[in-house]
Every structure is written in C-alpha cells, then in structure tokens.
Structure 1
C-alpha cells in the first residue's frame, strides 16, 4: 500500500533529502533546503512524496510555468525513486499524480527534461507514460 502527500514544511523537505540526493547528487542538504524553500515561495514549486510503510519511496517536484511555447503548463523539475524501490511503478504513480494535479488546476500540458545519459528514463517517459520527445534542452554555464 502507498500514499502520496505534498510536502510543505522544512521538516518534511529535510526528510525527503536522502531520496532527492540520489538524483541531485551535487546538492548539499543546506543547498537543497534553501532551493526548495525559495522555489516553493517564488515559483509555486510543489514537492510530492510517495510513501510506502510510512517511508518516502519516491519524489516528484513540479511547478507551473507560462511560456509562449506551451502556454500554461506544468514543468516536472525532479522525479526520483529511491534505489531500494525502483521498478515497482512508483514513478508512474507520481507522474499520474502530477497529471491529475495539473488537470484539476486547468493545465493541459506537463513537460520535463531528462539527461541524455538516462536512456532507461527516456524509455519510461516515451513508452510507459506516452510523453513525446519534442526538443532538446540546451544549457550554458556562465
């Protein structure tokens, strides 16, 4: 049995850090907490956790965006399943939660990016979740 809950407090975000660290390996706990707090406050970032036996097994971080390309949409910033819980359908359940959240709030597009090396994730997004590959994301560090 599982449950999904939106995390809204510093304590809950801190509890999620060990799982998020598996995806965002470059972030210290302090950096992570600062970024989540600022993103929640300024960008309406939402961090949802999927719990199994009262422990976080997977996380999805997402936020509303408005762009000329997509109009009003939801951007999935983070999606990670704890290494001990992979291949159990938790990523699918969390993305479906995001889809339902988006629909309830009037957003009809959900988009995300995924690192070029993450071929298993790409198969999951395209084949299992029926996402279309529509662009490349480019980055320049200044």
Structure 2
C-alpha cells in the first residue's frame, strides 16, 4: 500500500477533497465549500491530505494563529477520515505529520475543537495522541 501526505493547492485537488470533507461538514455544498475555502485561504488556511493508493483517505485543515495563551500555534479546524477508511490509522498518521510540520515551522502548540457529542474522537485525541482537554468553546448565533 502506497501512502503519502501533501498540501492540496490546485483546484482539482481541492475539488477531489470535497466528498471527504463533506462527511464532517455535512451542511456544505461543493459551491459553498469552494467559496468559503477561497476566503479561508486568504487568511492562511491550508488543507493537507493523506493519500492511500492515490486516493484521498484523510484530511486536515488548519491555520496559523497567535494569541496570549497558545502563543504561535496551529489551529486545526477540520480533521476527517473517509468513513470507509476509518480504523486503519490514517487520521493518526496525518495528525502526527501535522504535529511535526508545525513544530518545524515554529509552533508551540497544535490546538483543535471537537463537538461535545464526539466521544470517540475525544478518546482518540486524549488517549492516543496525548492532547489535553483544558477549556470549553462557546459561540452565539447572531
């Protein structure tokens, strides 16, 4: 099995990623995804993919952030593995790659948020990858 990880930069690659990302962000249409992606990229959003046998099986989307509590860090907005490809370690491999990449680029932390209902994802982050659960995140619809 051939695997590689790369940043998605071409329109073709970004369109290829949509069906996988849509498994996490189910409310998006491809048109909305491409529109928002274009805006997000202006703020430095990057989308990396893990390919297995030349097919995307896992995605991680993140941006650089700087604040007083996490200093210079990577914030992961999107992390998803194709539902047919879960439990093969692809998400872990991709996330470990992002950790290494971020450290090489000068990040002090990698941060992410996970929905309250995603109990198995929380176990993955805490037990397998040694993430700390240290705050709640809040939002208000306007």
State the TM-score, normalized to the length of structure 1.
0.97
Q: What secondary structure does 1:36 align onto?
A: helix
Which consecutive residues of structure 1, in runs of 5 or more, have no partner in the other structure? none
Equivalent residue, structure 1, for 2:14: 13
Taking the TM superposition and a 5 Å limit, the aligned residue runs for 1:48-67 are: 48-67=48-67
Taking the TM superposition and a 5 Å limit, the aligned residue runs for 1:36-75 are: 36-41=37-42, 43-75=43-75
Q: Distance in 2 between matches of 1:129 and 1:37?
A: 31
Cα distance per residue 1:63-120 (max 9 Å; x no partner): 1001122111100010000011001111111111111111111012000000000000
Equivalent residue, structure 1, for 2:133: 133
Q: Distance in 2 between matches of 1:77 and 1:10?
A: 20
Q: Distance in 2 between matches of 1:50 and 1:107?
A: 21
Equivalent residue, structure 2, for 1:24: 25
Q: Distance in 2 between matches of 1:8 and 1:39?
A: 13
Aligned-residue RMSD, C-alpha:
0.8
State the TM-score, normalized to the length of structure 2.
0.97
Which of structure 1's runs of 4+ aligned residues deviate more than 6 A?
A: none
Q: What secondary structure does 1:14 align onto?
A: helix
Number of matched pairs:
141
Q: Distance in 2 between matches of 1:98 and 1:17?
A: 20
Which consecutive residues of structure 2, in runs of 5 or more, have no partner in the other structure? none
Answer yes or no: is 1:88 the counterpart of 2:84: no
Q: What secondary structure does 1:51 align onto?
A: strand
8 A contact 2:71–2:108 mirrored in 1: no
